[in-house]
Amino acid sequence: MYFPQVAIIGVGLLGGSVGLALQRAGLARRVIGFGRREGSLAQALERKCITDYTTHLDEAVHDAGLVIVATPVEQTADFVAAAAKGCGPGTLITDVGSTKDSICRSADAALAGGAGTWASFVGSHPLAGSEKTGPIFAKANLFDDRMVVVTPTENSRPDAVEQIDTFWQKLGAKTCRMHPAEHDAAVAITSHLPHLVASLVAAITPEELLKLTAGGWQDTTRVASGDVELWRQILLDNRPHVLLAVEKFATVLASFREALEQADGAAIAQLLEAGKRTRDALGS
Amino acid sequence: MYFPQVAIIGVGLLGGSVGLALQRAGLARRVIGFGRREGSLAQALERKCITDYTTHLDEAVHDAGLVIVATPVEQTADFVAAAAKGCGPGTLITDVGSTKDSICRSADAALAGGAGTWASFVGSHPLAGSEKTGPIFAKANLFDDRMVVVTPTENSRPDAVEQIDTFWQKLGAKTCRMHPAEHDAAVAITSHLPHLVASLVAAITPEELLKLTAGGWQDTTRVASGDVELWRQILLDNRPHVLLAVEKFATVLASFREALEQADGAAIAQLLEAGKRTRDALGS
């Protein structure tokens, strides 16, 4: 796998890390970053996440063999569609969005008329975020041993799906495949719910009590430092699944509250035990 | 500050770490561990947390100038009372319990009749726990730069309070003073609520989705690995304050849910922003 030219649309933490990782893997000669803010692009260039940059999308994608869309999720589908129409039919396009169903539906719809003439898209979600943002935190090893969920649909070209799988593996990641909606239901539990719960625990803690926090509070709330706008978009985009996850959580919270009101030590222990069993199953 | 003999009642992670830290600080010659399970005591001895051990409480405390009760919270007050009656009136006694109001009340009540003849007690809570348990994880530096809350009551001897403060500082910690009930209200928010929320997030995650977890889930749920029995006792003991914290949390969870149901991006951003502001105020 080798691309004379790769375009990265949005060179933040993830886009920048893709740039570093694919150069580390020797997958490309030119890595063109596209963005709207030249300051951020210049920073990405200085950190060698990219080899060139442009603020004109067409320039970035026209000769690219691979396009990675790494923008906030609300803009992803539009950039996928615009990129697909600006490059050759053999070009592969993927993204790094934390939600997949709406992105893949919109991209499929936008590209439906262009089979054979436009590039093809396969969605990806590398489970490798951070509460940090920006190319300044980009790392060549961000994807090492991380899981990337690749989310083909009935419209995906099978060879494109294979290549996107291979691409992430070359970047050091493990991959698995899920349907976009199945992915969104899963990450509502494994990522979006933990994020909002962390935010709410932090939100109700008065600042004057921060001196009384220790590892427990610090770990439990760490992700609450994440970028508000990115997460607003993610939570809104995955609304139905996040609401189901919140409901599930609210139900066990109510059980816990009842057990505590009744000083029912056995029920409290049972809930703690269920959490410990799952947490221990993961390890560190 | 120097004690020819110190007794540690319960030599687990915290008791064992106190033993290591006070030897590192050169505060004692003999450090006698008391416990019921000889296997655990022998392990603590091997790791040099203690210099001797016994399964007879009187032997441990009789000649001790300082007694640290480091048992699970349900047993703490009883051991404080038993220790106080078994040692001289000049002996200092403290504990490491995560809850303070019921322990300090019970200890005060048990010792009320013995002013001048029994030892005196001042409660402590080192904010230095871990999801790990047992002397095998004990560390001499566990308290370095950690906060220890010292919780005197109207019955505490002022010089004993001073000495307990000094003791923890010699172990590397920072100290602050709070009334036991004020402490319990605070840690319900800063420690007990995060613990139960972490447990519940872990509990509702199906094991087959663990492969889709990343840093967010891992951090947010880390403390759910903690010892179930220790935490059952803490949550039960601090029931009224934990219930208030749960109520506060349930209220913001309901606000969030409503915002999400109505796709109210501004309200979602506001809740995330509140969490981020507090989390960022703490730093890493």
Domains and CATH numbers, chain A: 3-178 (3.40.50.720), 182-282 (1.10.3660.10)
Asked whether residue B185 carries a pLDDT value surpassing 70, the answer given is yes
pLDDT of residue A129: 74
Residue B51 and residue B26 in contact, taking contact as beta carbons nearer than 8 Å = no
A172 backbone φψ class: left, alpha, beta (φ>0; ψ -120 to 50): left
pLDDT of residue A133: 83
Cα(A12)–Cα(A17) distance, integer angstroms:
8
Asked whether residue B131 carries a pLDDT value surpassing 80, the answer given is no
Span A169-175, average pLDDT? 98
Q: Is A112 on the interface with B (CB under 8 A)?
A: no
Write the CB contacts of A266 (distance below 8 Å, at least 6 apart in sequence). Answer: none
B 237-266 residues with CB < 8 A to A: 239, 242-243, 245-250, 252-253, 256-257, 260-261, 263, 265
Span B3-31, average pLDDT? 97
Interface test mutation site (partner A, options B272, B273, B277, max chain A beta carbons within 10 A):
B272
B198-222 residue pLDDT tens = 999 999 999 999 999 999 999 999 9
Give the β-pairing of A147-151 and A123-126: antiparallel
pLDDT of residue A115: 67
Compare CB distances from A200 to B263, B271, B273 and report the shortest one's residue: B271
DSSP A189: I
* Complex ipTM value: 0.92
DSSP A97: -
A75-110 residue pLDDT tens = 999 999 999 989 888 899 999 999 999 999 999 998
A241-284 residue pLDDT tens = 999 999 999 999 999 999 999 999 999 999 999 999 999 999 76
pLDDT of residue B115: 67
CB contact under 8 A, A260 and B236: yes
CA B20 to chain CA centroid, Å, is 17
Cα(B176)–Cα(A213) distance, integer angstroms:
13
Share of residues in chain A with pLDDT > 90 (%): 90
Residue A2 and residue A50 in contact, taking contact as beta carbons nearer than 8 Å = no
Nearest to A5 by CA among A53, A52, A65, A45: A65
| CA–CA min distance A62, chain B (Å) | 34
Phi then psi dihedrals of residue B69, to 5 deg: -95, 115
In this structure, of A32-41, A125-134, A229-238, the range with the lowest mean pLDDT score is: A125-134
Nearest to A136 by CA among A284, A280, A279, A11: A11
CB contact under 8 A, B199 and A274: yes
Span A53-58, average pLDDT? 96
Asked whether residue B103 carries a pLDDT value surpassing 90, the answer given is yes
Asked whether residue A184 carries a pLDDT value surpassing 90, the answer given is yes
What is the H or E stretch that residue A123 is in? strand A123-126
pLDDT of residue A192: 97
How many Cα atoms sit within 13 Å of A60 on the Cβ side?
A: 30
Cα(A233)–Cα(A122) distance, integer angstroms:
21
Interface test mutation site (partner B, options A96, A200, A242, max chain B beta carbons within 10 A):
A200
Beta-sheet strands, E only, within chain B: 3-9, 28-34, 52-54, 66-69, 92-95, 120-121, 123-126, 147-151, 174-177
Asked whether residue A197 carries a pLDDT value surpassing 90, the answer given is yes
Asked whether residue A117 carries a pLDDT value surpassing 80, the answer given is no
Residue B215 burial (C-beta neighbours within 10 Å; 0-12, 13-18, 19+) = middle
DSSP B118: S
CB contact under 8 A, B278 and A213: no
What is the H or E stretch that residue A218 is in? helix A215-221
CB contact under 8 A, B276 and A202: yes
Residues composing chain B = 284
Span B158-183, average pLDDT? 97
Span A221-249, average pLDDT? 96
CA A114 to chain CA centroid, Å, is 27
Query: Mean pLDDT of all residues in chain A?
Result: 95
The encoded tokens of residue B77 equal 């007050």
| CA–CA min distance A218, chain B (Å) | 8
CB contact under 8 A, A198 and B216: yes
Span B248-259, average pLDDT? 97
pLDDT of residue B89: 86
B 115-174 residues with CB < 8 A to A: 127-130, 146-147, 149
Q: Is A213 on the interface with B (CB under 8 A)?
A: yes
Span B123-145, average pLDDT? 91
In this structure, of A58-62, A124-128, A206-210, B85-89, the range with the lowest mean pLDDT score is: B85-89
Q: How far is CA B103 from CA B59, B119, B150, in A?
A: 23, 16, 13
Chain B residues whose CB is inside 8 A of the A214 CB are 127-129, 146-147, 190-191
